Structure 1
Amino acid sequence: RKILQRNVLIAKERCESPADGLSLDESTSITLYTFEWNTNESSFYFILNQALRMEDRQKLKPWFLYLKLFITTLSRLPPIAATVYRGIKADLTNQYKPNSYSIWWGVSSYTDNIEILQSEQFCGKTGMRTIFVIKCLNGRSIRNHSYYPQ
């Protein structure tokens, strides 16, 4: 709980003058989601996405207030239609068919710059990995509010 409180304060400090007409709390809801903690498994986004992917929807109750703020905030950002990329360091070819539609029950980050995705920090250029090319029709750019704006 102390780590969460500390990271909320760090996120709020980064959002003192939010862009896109968002309030401090709205911008902070995005920054907090994008903020990396000591380990992936302890990060806010990781724990939230675990809850979003659970079959037992009752497990989402503790997240309702945050999700309301987060989703309302995203709806206030202008929609974008673009081709974007998401990469995972694993072979997922058996789980996804080319040119098919999929529903992801979590919040997913992406980039519009394939070179960033191919950097070693993300997927790299070698080894087992799956790169999704997504035709986004109604996405939202959170770049102005992300802890990592690139």
Structure 2
Amino acid sequence: MQDIVDDIDRRMQHLVAQDDCAPGSTEHNRRFSFFAYTYEASWLQKEEQLYAVLNQDLRSRSTGRFKLWMPFLYHLTCALCSLPDVADTVFRGMNKLPATWIVDGTASLFFPGFSSTSTKEQVARNFAAQAGVEGVVLKIKVVNAKDLKDVSWFGAGEEELLLSPNMEFVVVNPLYDRNGIRYLDLQQVPKNRIWS
């Protein structure tokens, strides 16, 4: 993890030299948080990337692991609050539905970690198709997702909207098939305590 922090720090020093993003400033902390979350180290496997480890720890609901992440989560949440809310329909491809989900519309669903979604349906379809018959595309109407394209490590090419941990959703259309891929339609339940 230290290699990741060192690499991000070197890149942040380059940004500081280019503009008025002073070390220790709110803007510096904001950019560092965004870069750290979206960063991908070429020498690490996908499941070893910072965002993957963070989300795995959030999903595990381990108090000890959560406490380790609290300083970073504070800065990342503050940074995300600085972005405008985006209301849109987004898509998320999954290998399979979590066994704990009740998808008949009688219970709320929660994503315990940060969740990446795409405004491009085909991205989610491709991901779900890789899983075969278990794959599913979540079609989600959201009211306060965050658009990371202007702050992401990857730049403006990203068509990603990020969802906060513990957002609540309801099923508005049960599982159905669309051109050989299963879909589940969800609607976010707005909560003032998420993001803003």
* Shorter-chain TM-score range: 0.7 to 0.9
Task: Please state if 1:51 is matched with 2:57.
Answer: yes
Indicate the structure whose relative CO is greater, using CA pairs within 8 Å and at least 6 residues apart.
1
Distance between the aligned counterparts of 2:120 and 2:10, measured in 1?
A: 27
4+ residue runs over 6 A deviation: none
Contact 1:93 1:130 in 2 (8 A): no
Contact 2:118 2:124 in 1 (8 A): yes
**Counterpart among 100, 103, 108 of residue 110 in structure 2:** 103
Write the letter of the residue equivalent to 2:9: L
Distance between the aligned counterparts of 1:82 and 1:98, measured in 2?
A: 23
Write the letter of the residue equivalent to 1:107: F
Sequence identity (%)? 21
Say if 1:103 and 1:127 are closer, same or farther in 2 by CA, change over 3 A: closer
RMSD of aligned C-alpha atoms?
2.8
1:30 alignment counterpart: 34
Say if 1:56 and 1:5 are closer, same or farther in 2 by CA, change over 3 A: closer
1:4 alignment counterpart: 4
Contact 1:79 1:139 in 2 (8 A): yes
Deviation at 1:53, TM superposition (A): 1.5
Task: Please state if 1:64 is matched with 2:70.
Answer: yes
Write out per-residue CA displacement over residues 49-98 of structure 1, whole angstroms, 9 at most, x where no aligned residue: 1221223323211211111000011111111111111112x232864526
Distance between the aligned counterparts of 2:14 and 2:151, measured in 1?
A: 9
Report the 3-state secondary structure (helix = DSSP H, G, I; strand = E; otherwise coil) of the residue aligned with 1:145: coil
**Counterpart among 99, 121, 124 of residue 117 in structure 1:** 124
Write the letter of the residue equivalent to 2:91: Y
Q: Larger Cα Rg: Structure 1 or Structure 2?
A: 2
Deviation at 1:41, TM superposition (A): 1.9
TM-score, structure 1 as length reference: 0.78
* Number of aligned residue pairs: 143
Write out per-residue CA displacement over residues 6-35 of structure 1, whole angstroms, 9 at most, x where no aligned residue: 3323652685569xxx71321221122112
Unaligned 5+ runs, structure 1: none
TM-score, structure 2 as length reference: 0.62
